[in-house]
Structure 1
């Protein structure tokens, strides 16, 4: 394939600025800005033949769309990337993983399996140690996503005061981190655990016989702490930007708040805004307690979520 002409210095500078703006918008969860920036990047990169560069930044926009539950738009973009990308590249592999996650949330399990298989069969990673780390990370991410997908998104009523009172009781009792995760895990319904294990088996079936030992077993129905950590990680991945970025309105309110009740209420609002079914009321107190106990600044520093693309290894 003929290589596209190099970008001019002016175009390189423009690309660098737009790419950083896109990353910032995606971290902030700002879909409107992300769409506008992607339009500018498209007009810069596609006329000059730099399709790969365009697809690479488009992946970040697609992951944001998944977080915002715009699975159909993500599906459309990711399908186009996969159609135009070599199967043995990280770009193809990352696109396939994201599309599989989108299909999972759309309850299109056959399609999710198909794209997960494509990602795992890709020869983009050949080093054994990197391959093992890749399989472990992807399996944990799919455990998170399958648990969240199984919880539904029906509207529900809840009593905020009851949840915040539970937070206060947890703090007064000095409930340990492990106990908080265990409390979350014990609240997960059996059908959600069964669905997660089904997705885990689906992933395992895509691996070669020799690679299956690289895939850690899925948490069982009694692995409450591990299950709790998976749910916490999935929710934290979605609320981190709102409560951690300095220019976030929520973060500014949190910084000015000194009353634990106010802080709890703000975090609870962000969790409920995810619309992850009524079970959220059973686990919110433990999540809020964990964040408050770690302190907001420590939580934000230590638990910044990574994206699928951040798992790409530097060569």
Structure 2
């Protein structure tokens, strides 16, 4: 049974609460976002407007995932999946996000049935072209999550910002862009390549043959350059805000004083080192290769081309 039409009071409150929630999520302010979702729940639940409520809850738990509150995200996403129809986009989103939570925990076997649900559902996205595009993008996302978070607390090295900058200089002087991707891939531990092979192979098995053949094979996916590309793309989820947010120190210095100051002070190396340390990634050659690629592109181009998309954006494509 469809819920009744929203009352005028509900409409007025939604015009206030939903934009505030969007801002809180953009600012990664989880406590404010959580309070706003409670207000939305009190507003929408009594009249049975669950679809609109779950949309907001999915966004809240995606934020929880991004700030590494994985247990909160897992509990919430499980709850969302339990109360919405399995043939809805809300269910598809919650399932995809829950799979990502498990990939970040290296719980591959828990992620697999969720990956299968996402990739074999032909009902939610009606357009074959849009469905194919979504699958390509979500497989990329699964691969990136597997690659990045399997690097946590593995083969950690002790090195300073100065040592990192020295390594960056050597790479920039001796390698082109393609070679840097290969160097980056070579710096990745075999453990990560094994997991990437497993997740990519499993994802491909869920696709129709025509879609499967359009993607790299698992063997190709773990070649050094391909791994380097995957890790570089995954790194944006950790470093983008520190480099590109208009309120970040680097962005303000770059906007005011130009790129020369950024380079001379080693701001980018410092930011990447700090972001990776925060999640437990400490590999000098890997970090140096990523910094070198950012410098090859230039900060402005990097920020334009590498803004992370969230899963709620993918569904609307």
> TM-score, normalising length from structure 2?
0.86
Q: Residues 249-260 of structure 1 correspond to what in structure 2 (within 5 A)?
A: 249=249, 251-253=251-253, 255=255, 258-260=261-263
Match of 1:266 among 266, 270, 287: 270
Q: Equivalents in 2 of 1:111, 1:4: separation in Å?
A: 38
Q: Deviations over 1:171-219 (max 9, x none)?
A: 4x27432222222111111221111111112223334566544554246
Give distance in 1, aligned partners of 2:141 and 2:5. Answer: 38
The answer as to whether partners of 2:164 and 2:269 remain within 8 angstroms in 1 is no
Cα distance, 1:149 vs structure 2: 2.6
2:78 is matched with which residue? Answer: 79
2:13 and 2:226 map into 1 onto residues whose CA distance is 44
* Distance in 1 between residues matched to 2:165 and 2:211, nearest whole Å: 45
SS at match of 2:220: coil
* Alignment-derived partner of residue 203 in structure 1: 203
2:51 matched to which residue of 1? 52
SS at match of 1:220: helix
Contact 1:45–1:54 under 8 Å retained in 2: yes
Could you tell me how far 1:84 is from its partner in structure 2?
0.9
Query: 1:148 is paired with a residue of what secondary structure?
Result: helix
Q: Which runs of 5+ in 1 are unaligned?
A: none
Deviation at 1:229, TM superposition (A): 1.5
Offset of 1:254 from its aligned partner? 5.0
TM-aligned CA deviation for residue 11 of structure 1: 3.4
Task: Pick closer, same or farther for the CA change 1:147–1:276 going to 2, 3 Å.
Answer: farther
Task: State whether residues 81 and 92 of structure 1, in contact with CA within 8 Å, keep that contact through their aligned partners in structure 2.
Answer: yes
Contact 1:139–1:215 (CA under 8 A) maintained in structure 2: no
- Asked if 1:297 is matched to 2:308, the reply is no
Between stretches 255-264 and 283-292, larger displacement belongs to: 255-264
Residues 1:39 and 1:210: Cα distance change in structure 2 (over 3 Å): same
| Superposition pairs of residues 141-156 of structure 1, within 5 angstroms | 141-153=141-153
Cα RMSD (Å):
2.6
Between the aligned partners of 2:87 and 2:222, the Cα distance in structure 1 is 38
How many equivalent residue pairs?
311
Whether the aligned pair in 2 keeps the contact of 1:136 and 1:216 (CA below 8 Å) is no
- Aligned residue number for residue 133 of structure 2: 133
Q: 1:65: Cα distance to partner?
A: 1.7
**What corresponds to 1:188 in structure 2?**
188
Asked whether the 8 Å contact 2:269–2:291 carries over to 1, the reply is no
TM-score (norm 1): 0.87
CA shift, 1:41, in A, is 2.7
Say if 2:273 and 2:287, in contact at 8 Å, map to a contact too: no
Q: Report how far residue 250 of structure 1 moved.
A: 5.2
What's the CA shift for 1:221? 6.8
Cα offset for 1:101?
1.0
**C-alpha distance in 1 between matches for 2:62 and 2:44:** 20
Q: Distance in 1 between matches of 2:95 and 2:23?
A: 24
What is aligned with 1:310?
A: 313
Unmatched 5+ residue regions in structure 2? none
Q: Tell me the distance in 1 between the aligned counterparts of 2:16 and 2:175.
A: 46
